[in-house]
Amino acid sequence: MSKPKSITIVDVAREAGVSTATVSNVLNRRNVPLSEDIIRRVEAAADRLGYRRNAMAASLSRQRTNELGLLLPSFGGYFGGFAEACEREAHERGYHLSVFSGSNDPELERRHLDRLLQRRVDGLICHGLAMSPEATREIVRDGTPMVLFNAWSWPEDIAVGTVNLDFKSGVEEAVHRLYERGCRSIFYVGQHKPNTSDPPRYEGFLQGIAGLPGPVTHAYVRADASDFRVTVGRLLQLAGDSRPFGIICFDDLLAFAMMYAGIASGLRVPEQMMVVGMNNHYMTRYSHPTITSMDIPYKDQAELTVRWLISAIDDKPDEWVLERSGGRSRVDIPVKLLMRGSTGDS
C-alpha cells in the first residue's frame, strides 16, 4: 500500500486561493494585518485537507540553509553579469545562490515567491524591476532579510539596505563632456516604454544641463522602436543647424540603434552626431565607431550587496559594510565614463 501524500502549506494555499506566505502567517499566528475572511478561508482549507502543522519541520525550516535568492527582471545584459558576480561572492562566503527571473510576468512572479518561501532562503537580493514592493513585503514579513539593488524608487523600510549604481552622476558628467566637445544641442533618449530606472538618469541629465557654462538646446525624447530613424528625424528638428548635437541613451542597445539610425539618415558620427550609452556592453568596444559608455563595477556592487545581506542574516555588523554605507540605508556606487569614438575620442 502506498504511503498517503502529506498535505503541505502549498496545498492549503492552492485550496484557499491565497499565497503560501499568507497561509504561513495565518497558521503560525504571526502579527500581520489579515482580514477575517482570509483567516477563515485558510483555516477552513486546512481543515478540509486535514493539514497538520509539523512542529519539527517548522523548527528545522527556521535554521540556516546557506542559500540566498536573487530576483532579476531578466537574464540578459547587465543582469547576467551581476548574477555571476553575486554567485562568486556568495560562493566565497559559503552560500549557494538561486537565481530567478520575473520577466514582467505577474504569475511567474507569484510562483517565484511561493518557491522562495518553500525553500526558506536565508536572504534575498532583489532588483527594483524584478518584483513589486507588495510581493516582496510578503517575504520580508516572513522574516527573510532582503537587500535591494538598482531600486531607486522603492520605500527604504522594505529592505536592510539598497545598493544602486550612480547613473545620475555618470549622465551629468556625460553632459559636460559633450558640451566640451562642441555640442550645443544635447538630448536624453529614453526607451519607447516608461521604465522606473529612467528617472535617476534623466535627473542627472537635467542637473548636468543646469551646470553648463552656456545655454544649450535640450530635451527628453522617447525612442520610436518601430523605426529609430523617426527619432533621429525628431532630434534633427530640435537641433536645427547645431552640429554636432549629442545624445545620451538609456542603455547601450539603444545607443547602438540610435547611432546606426543616424548613420542611415546620412549623419556622420562623431562629426555631426555624438552618442553616449550606459552599460559598457561588449559591442560598444567593437562597433564602428566605438561607443562611449559607462563602466559597471560588477564586483564592487555584488560584494557590497552580498556582504550587507549576510551581515543581516548573521545579525552581526560587518565593519567594511558599515564603512562603505556610512550608516546609511542606501549606497550609490559610482560608474566610470569611458570615452570612445562616438564622441570623438580614441
Q: Which 3-state string (H, E, C) describes 137-153? A: HHHHHCCCCEEEECCCC
Report residue 39's pLDDT band, with 50, 70 and 90 as the boundaries: confident
Report residue 43's pLDDT band, with 50, 70 and 90 as the boundaries: confident
Q: Mean pLDDT lowest for which of 80-89, 156-165, 234-243, 288-297?
A: 156-165
% of the chain at pLDDT higher than 90: 53
pLDDT of the residue at 268:
97
pLDDT of the residue at 2:
42
Specify whether the CB–CB gap between 131 and 112 falls below 8 A.
yes
* Identity of the residue numbered 156: E
Residue ranges and CATH numbers for the domains of the chain are 67-164+298-334 (3.40.50.2300), 167-295+337-343 (3.40.50.2300)
pLDDT of the residue at 92:
93
